[in-house]
Amino acid sequence: MWLRVLVPVVLIISIGTARAQYLPPANAAESPFIIEPQHIAVVSSFDADSIGNRSAYVDGTFAPFSGIYESGIRVRATGNASGYRYLISDDPRILGTGRYLEGGLLAGYGVWLPRFSVTGLVGPTFGEIVNQGVTTDKWGAKAVIEMYARPTDWTMASSSVSYSTIANKLQVEAKAGLKIYGDVYFGPEAKFAWQQIIPWQINFFSTSSISTLRLGAHVSALNIGPVLIGVSGGWAHDRQLGSGYYGSASLYLPF
């Protein structure tokens, strides 16, 4: 019997993940009525699929010397927790369960223009991986790049890329949207996650490298008071576990 043990990590909203659906008001950087700049933005999200993966994420981003919607230095504290299933053996087919906890402190710089913004962050992280009762604690580093654009008054596009050394995990997310009411956008989204790869050992066709693919739709920037809400859902596919569906929800609060 051929036994293959993989180190599993569920698709984590980090966002960084992947913060593509936490959209600020379209005129936040342009409005002459904002007297006091907002220096902090808090994000939380929950994500689950029918395959057996689920995750919760929270972060706080601080702009110490500028407004959160202005160019300047950024500091971000992040935390996430996830539970998942994974393949232990092909023959016979055996599935295992695990959980993953991670926290980090990232620093970087954000460039904010009226119709385009990009933020880059990097910093140390600590993770605890528990697979079938076996616990592994590990220090590492994480890097995040996020971009948001409003090409016209009626359209938006966003993307994010993150890489964590704790699980050699690369995650990419992209969204596009059309304004349907106020500052609310609707459109397609795609999320890709690869694990157990490093830049000089990329094999996108290996069952141990391509982890998760998600294709769906999102509704972003629903406004309830100062809170912006995003929801999304669609089709999910895992190389080890097969296909299913996913759903996610997020909150964004600047102050």
> What whole-number distance in Å separates Cα of residue 144 and Cα of residue 80?
15
Residue whose pair of structure tokens reads 């996108």 in the numeric block: 204
In the predicted model, what is the mean pLDDT of residues 219-248?
91
pLDDT tier at 75, thresholds 50, 70, 90: very high
In the predicted model, is pLDDT for residue 205 greater than 80? no
Computed over every residue of the chain, the mean pLDDT equals 81
Query: Would you place residue 5 in the very low, low, confident or very high pLDDT band (cuts 50, 70, 90)?
Result: very low
Please give the C-alpha separations between residue 231 and each of 9, 21, 35, 40, 253, in angstroms, as whole numbers.
Answer: 23, 8, 30, 22, 15
As to burial, measured by CB atoms within 10 angstroms (0-12 exposed, 13-18 middle, 19+ buried), residue 18 is buried
User: Is pLDDT at 21 greater than 80 in this prediction?
Assistant: no
170 burial (CB, 10 Å; 0-12 / 13-18 / 19+) is buried
R_g over Cα of the chain = 18
**Residue partners of 94: CB distance under 8 A and separation at least 6:** 87, 88
Residue 132, CB-side half-sphere exposure with 13 Å CA sphere? 10
Domain covering 15-254 assigned CATH 2.30.40.10 in the classification? no
pLDDT at position 32 over 60: no
Query: 51-71: per-residue pLDDT in tens?
Result: 988 999 999 999 999 999 999
Predicted local distance difference test score (pLDDT) of residue 196:
61
Contact 57, 26 (CB under 8 A): no
Confidence category of residue 188, pLDDT binned at 50, 70, 90: very high
Distance CA 18, CA 162 (A): 8
pLDDT of residue 1: 34
**How far does CA 42 lie from the centroid of its chain?**
14
184-194 and 155-164 beta bridge pairing: unpaired
Quote the DSSP letter at residue 132. Answer: T
**In this model, does residue 8 exceed pLDDT 60?**
no
Domain ranges of the chain: 15-254
Query: Residues of the chain with pLDDT > 90: what percent?
Result: 53
Cα gap 140→161, rounded to integer Å: 17
For tokens 């994000």, the residue is: 43
pLDDT tier for residue 170 given thresholds of 50, 70 and 90: confident
Per-residue model confidence (pLDDT) at position 33:
45
When pLDDT is cut at 50, 70 and 90, the band that residue 100 belongs to is confident
Tell me how far apart the terminal alpha carbons of the chain are, to the nearest angstrom: 57
**Residue 67, exposed/middle/buried by CB under 10 A (0-12, 13-18, 19+)?**
middle
Nearest to 102 by CA among 52, 165, 153, 145: 165
Which DSSP symbol is given to 38?
P
In this prediction, residues 66-88 reach a mean pLDDT of: 90
Is the Cβ–Cβ distance between 36 and 28 less than 8 Å? no
At 247 the pLDDT is 96
Torsion angle of the four alpha carbons 239, 173, 231, 57, in this order, in degrees rounded to the nearest 10? 80
| pTM attached to this predicted model | 0.79
79-84: average pLDDT: 88
**Rounded CA gap, 252 and 60, in Å?**
10
Record the tokens describing residue 232, joined without a space: 């999304």
